Amino acid sequence: MEQALMREASLAPGVRMLPTYVGSTPHGNEQGNFVVLELGASGASLRILWVTLTGIKGQRVEPKSQEFVIPQEVVQGTGQQLFDFAARCLVEFLDAHSVGNQGLQLGFSFSFPCHQTGLDRSTLISWTKGFRCSGVEGQDVVQLLRDAIQRQGAYSIDVVAVVNDTVGTMMDCEPGVGPCEIGLVVDTGTNACYMEEARHVAVLDEDRGRTCVSIEWGSFSDDKALGPVLTAFDHALDQASLNPGAQRFEKMIGGLYLGELVRLVLVHLAQNRVLFGGYTSPALLSQGSILLEHVTEMEDPSTGVVCVHTVLQDLGLNPEASDAELVQRVCVAVCSRAAQLCAAALAAVLSHLQRSREQQTLQVAVATGGRVLERHPRFHSILQETVKLLASECDVSFIPSVDGGGRGVAMVTAVAARLAKHRRLLEETLAPFRLSREQLEAVQTQMREAMAKGLQREPSSLRMLPTYVRATPDGSERGDFLALDLGGTNFRVLLVRVAEGGVQIINQVYSIPECVAQGSGQQLFDHIVDCIVDFQQKQGLRGQSLPLGFTFSFPCKQLGLDQGILLNWTKGFNASGCEGQDVVHLLREAIRRRQAVELNVVAIVNDTVGTMMSCGYEDPRCEMGLIVGTGTNACYMEELRNVAGVAGDSGHMCINMEWGAFGDDGSLGMLSTCFDVRVDQASINPGKQRFEKMISGMYLGEIVRHILLHLTSLGVLFRGQQTQRLQTRDIFKTKFLSEIESDSLALRQVRAILEDLGLPLTSDDALIVLEVCQAVSRRAAQLCGAGVAAVVEKIRENRGLEELTVSVGVDGTLYKVHPHFASLVAATVRELAPRCVVTFLQSEDGSGKGAALVTAVACRLAQMARV
Ligand code: BG6
Ligand code: GLC
Ligand code: GLC
């Protein structure tokens, strides 16, 4: 078992350990009507059931059922014959029970070894027991059944799930001393299934929860273990069977074989004159003349002796009194061995579970089913006694299944139907987030149009603000500078030394409490100056008036390098009395109020510009800056002649696009989902920054939270139970998307993250949350990529180039931390701007360094002008 779970190649073909895709034992709230079709459990017959699940624990409705005998020529005919027969029986059953033709959902109990790849996908590995229909091995049996039902054409039936009989048996069972986590069948064949930790099952790329594994122990044939047990009779039986060499273990236990083993022993004893006075009969010599029913009857403690006589006479023999007793002893020996071997196998499962769950005493219930267990007078008790002996550390209760596992199959079907419905609802919910290439091209085109209009100062959602930065650094800049960096996750004060050998930075992070960010402007700027004073003191810079560059990451209308009028706050800021004011002036006022420092504010710089400059210091091809952090935005070097409102026709100027506001004129309407609308409405700036709200870190978590709320209301998540936690705004941080989507993370850890949030999830829930996160972050990255593609294409066209090679400096927590964001942006750009070769450079030092460099360039130019 353990080798097969880990897929270690073992020499002896052992047990198969097949995952069944049943992830949990029943909740008890499954409900609805289901058709169950059973094939392969009980010899050459087929059973159809109509099962009603009430959804109420303990409340059972008697199923309607009908058995059909499969003609021998069908059992060994073609697959199509077999499945057509099954479909005809279905029609007959449904006609007879007039159940209507509305949304019939069918569970298929197919009791042969199958490779399942889903609840409704299952490939037959090989026939076992008495079956041998051609053209089925290697085929998906669900599909074969669907096709056959369709050929009949009478009913439309949805085949929702396929299960092994052992699984149906386990799922039907109410818990005993412990949960019912093992299903055991001894019928024509024998097998068991049990709940295994998913992480122990190598073929499942999964480490969450448990999964039901069908052991297929019938094929157990380890030489070392079975060698001493196998008798000459076993070899003879095997040689004469339909599948010599296969299912050796099953051939010692299964009901199909017990009668035959008895027969072979009787023949042997007769031929050695121990029985029947040395006589045999043609019937005794023919294969299959003693059946399980005969053996069961002959062993009956009260009527057995009489039965032995009848059976033997029917075989054309003339038994004496002493023969009858011997024949009974043969039956007992064959069946006791079967029960004991079965117990040994079950004990192996139990001790594996006990060890792998590290429990002192494993308390577990075993659901049992199959005719041998149900009808043989002593099989069950021998099994129980032997298990007690071999697995004394386990406390096991045996619970016989009520109706052959039909209800259990219906339960799996109910779960499968629910999962399929949930998947559909999930897909419908996420569909608007999955953007087609056409949609992305449309975004790119609209972005280009809005850029052109913004540059010409025509009405446009893109403001295209001139920054008065005309050149990237040339490396000759020198000196010490102060820098401020306000508007991202952190507020920083920096001392930047630009020297021969490169740039050195000392910085300190200060917090800006939300009450300050959203209080009065005076408070905000006083706080900023306090931080500067603190920094100067700590760095021993008091009394020095260093030139200062101010990274201020909000939309500003600049009239020069050191003058920027705040147009409006974005992201989480909303300090009063600042919009429409020159930010440099507000800072200078605060300095004056504090009378504490002397500062020489030289430049005000957007973070995109700071990032571009900072990366430009290393790579002269860097002509675009991109931020995907709390907010999102981009800047790039535009031809001055294209920029209305700034004097001069030659050279370049960096343009702060303020693309976060793209779509604020309603042009992104078709892309906006109801969840985007909710996030927008609940923000401090409804209707504003619509592009940013689909992309940046401040909002993605909120989009995910709204989707999760919606899915909960549909019953797809958290079993439909709304939690207070999830109603709380901003509880789902964007960093969770990055953590949850990290490849190295197992779903188990995803669960842990969400459980930390107080969300009570199942493993299925964790998977759904992961898919939601992926859809939301993917759309964000693609929209961002469409924006970058628009910009680089414009630069290329501006220069009349066939091909442009350009670098983009990037910063922002989301871009840097998310495991797939950066590569998705790059992939989208490659798709949409195939004539541009774009390199993305991650800025390591933040935009503060860039602000210092802008200041340095300005100082250098000013000095040159003075000279
Ligand atoms: C930083 C800049 O490196 O990136 C900030 O210095 C900028 O000014 C930030 O706003 C963007 O990232 P985030 O994730 O902090 O908003
Ligand atoms: C055979 C089948 C197995 C089934 C068992 C009991 O061993 O291969 O799938 O569970 O019989 O019916
Ligand atoms: C917001 C600001 C913008 C800034 C961006 C990234 O969109 O308006 O100026 O560049 O966030 O921080």
- What mean pLDDT do residues 434-440 have? 98
Q: Which ligand is nearest to the CA of 370?
A: 2
Which alpha helices (DSSP H) does 357-488 contain, by range?
371-375, 379-390, 406-430, 437-455
pLDDT of the residue at 138: 97
**Closest by Cα among 36, 822, 730 to 413:** 36
Q: Is 570 close to ligand 1, i.e. is its CB under 6 Å away?
A: no
Residues with a known catalytic role: 492, 553, 607
Whether residue 364 contacts residue 394, with contact meaning beta carbons closer than 8 Å, is answered with yes
How confident is the model over 421-430, as pLDDT tens digits? Answer: 898 999 999 9
Q: Report the separation in Å between the CA atom of 208 and the middle of ligand 2, taken as the mean of its atom positions.
A: 27
Whether residue 721 contacts residue 715, with contact meaning beta carbons closer than 8 Å, is answered with no
- What mean pLDDT do residues 100-129 have? 93
Among residues of the chain, what percentage have pLDDT more than 70?
97
Q: Which residue's alpha carbon is at the smallest distance from atom 12 of ligand 2? A: 41
Q: Is 571 close to ligand 3, i.e. is its CB under 6 Å away?
A: yes
Our mutation pick for probing the ligand 3 site, out of 464, 574, 607, counting the most ligand atoms within 8 A of Cβ, is 607
- Tell how far CA 430 is from the center of its chain: 14
In the block, which residue shows the tokens 């060499």? 245
Whether residue 194 contacts residue 353, with contact meaning beta carbons closer than 8 Å, is answered with yes
- What mean pLDDT do residues 185-201 have? 93
Q: Is 130 close to ligand 2, i.e. is its CB under 6 Å away?
A: no
pLDDT of the residue at 285: 97
For the CA of 186, the nearest atom of ligand 2? 6
- What mean pLDDT do residues 185-195 have? 97
Name the band, by pLDDT with cuts 50, 70 and 90, for residue 475.
confident
Whether residue 834 contacts residue 803, with contact meaning beta carbons closer than 8 Å, is answered with no
Non-local (6+) Cβ contacts of 757 within 8 A are: 725, 731, 732, 736
Q: Is 219 close to ligand 2, i.e. is its CB under 6 Å away?
A: no
pLDDT of the residue at 176: 64
pLDDT of the residue at 385: 97
Residues in the chain: 867
Whole-angstrom Cα Rg for the chain: 38
How confident is the model over 548-582, as pLDDT tens digits? Answer: 999 999 999 999 999 999 999 999 899 999 999 99
For the CA of 490, the nearest atom of ligand 1? 15
Q: Report the separation in Å between the CA atom of 136 and the middle of ligand 3, taken as the mean of its atom positions.
A: 62
| Helix/strand/coil for 452 | helix
Our mutation pick for probing the ligand 2 site, out of 46, 136, 185, 194, counting the most ligand atoms within 8 A of Cβ, is 185
**Closest by Cα among 653, 654, 671, 649 to 662:** 671
pLDDT of the residue at 7: 79
Q: Which residue's alpha carbon is at the smallest distance from atom 10 of ligand 1? A: 488
Cα–Cα distance, 107 to 563 (Å, whole number): 73
- Long-range contacts at 715-720 (CB < 8 A, ≥ 24 apart): 715/422, 716/422, 716/425, 716/426, 716/429, 716/768, 717/761, 717/765, 717/768, 717/769, 718/759, 718/760, 718/761, 718/765, 719/762
Joined together, the tokens standing for residue 505 give: 């930075």
pLDDT of the residue at 193: 97
Name the band, by pLDDT with cuts 50, 70 and 90, for residue 177.
low
Q: Which residue's alpha carbon is at the smallest distance from atom 2 of ligand 2? A: 112
Cα–Cα distance, 703 to 705 (Å, whole number): 5
pLDDT of the residue at 763: 67
Exposed/middle/buried for residue 154 (C-beta within 10 Å: 0-12, 13-18, 19+): middle
- What mean pLDDT do residues 676-703 have? 97
Q: Report the separation in Å between the CA atom of 551 and the middle of ligand 1, taken as the mean of its atom positions.
A: 10
Whether residue 448 contacts residue 588, with contact meaning beta carbons closer than 8 Å, is answered with no
Q: Is 627 close to ligand 3, i.e. is its CB under 6 Å away?
A: yes
- Tell how far CA 230 is from the center of its chain: 46
**Closest by Cα among 27, 6, 162, 48 to 720:** 27
Helix, strand, coil percent values for the chain (each to nearest 5): 45, 20, 35
Q: Which residue's alpha carbon is at the smallest distance from atom 11 of ligand 3? A: 631
Q: Which ligand is nearest to the CA of 129?
A: 2
How confident is the model over 604-642, as pLDDT tens digits? Answer: 999 999 999 999 888 989 999 999 999 999 999 999 999
Q: Is 401 close to ligand 1, i.e. is its CB under 6 Å away?
A: no
- What mean pLDDT do residues 279-297 have? 96
pLDDT of the residue at 228: 92
Q: Is 113 close to ligand 2, i.e. is its CB under 6 Å away?
A: yes
DSSP 728: S
How confident is the model over 500-550, as pLDDT tens digits? Answer: 888 899 999 999 999 999 999 999 999 999 999 999 999 998 888 889 999
Cα–Cα distance, 726 to 759 (Å, whole number): 8
Dihedral angle of Cα 117, 120, 123, 126, to the nearest 10 degrees: 120
pLDDT of the residue at 478: 87
Q: Which ligand is nearest to the CA of 613?
A: 1
Q: Is 368 close to ligand 2, i.e. is its CB under 6 Å away?
A: no
Q: Is 487 close to ligand 1, i.e. is its CB under 6 Å away?
A: yes
- Average pLDDT of the chain is 92
Minimum mean pLDDT among 50-64, 124-138, 611-625: which range? 50-64
pLDDT of the residue at 323: 94
| Helix/strand/coil for 736 | helix
In the block, which residue shows the tokens 């009668």? 259
Cα–Cα distance, 818 to 821 (Å, whole number): 6
Neighbours of 649 (CB within 10 A): 10
Q: Is 523 close to ligand 1, i.e. is its CB under 6 Å away?
A: no
Name the band, by pLDDT with cuts 50, 70 and 90, for residue 688.
very high
Cα–Cα distance, 105 to 109 (Å, whole number): 13
Q: Report the separation in Å between the CA atom of 633 and the middle of ligand 3, taken as the mean of its atom positions.
A: 5
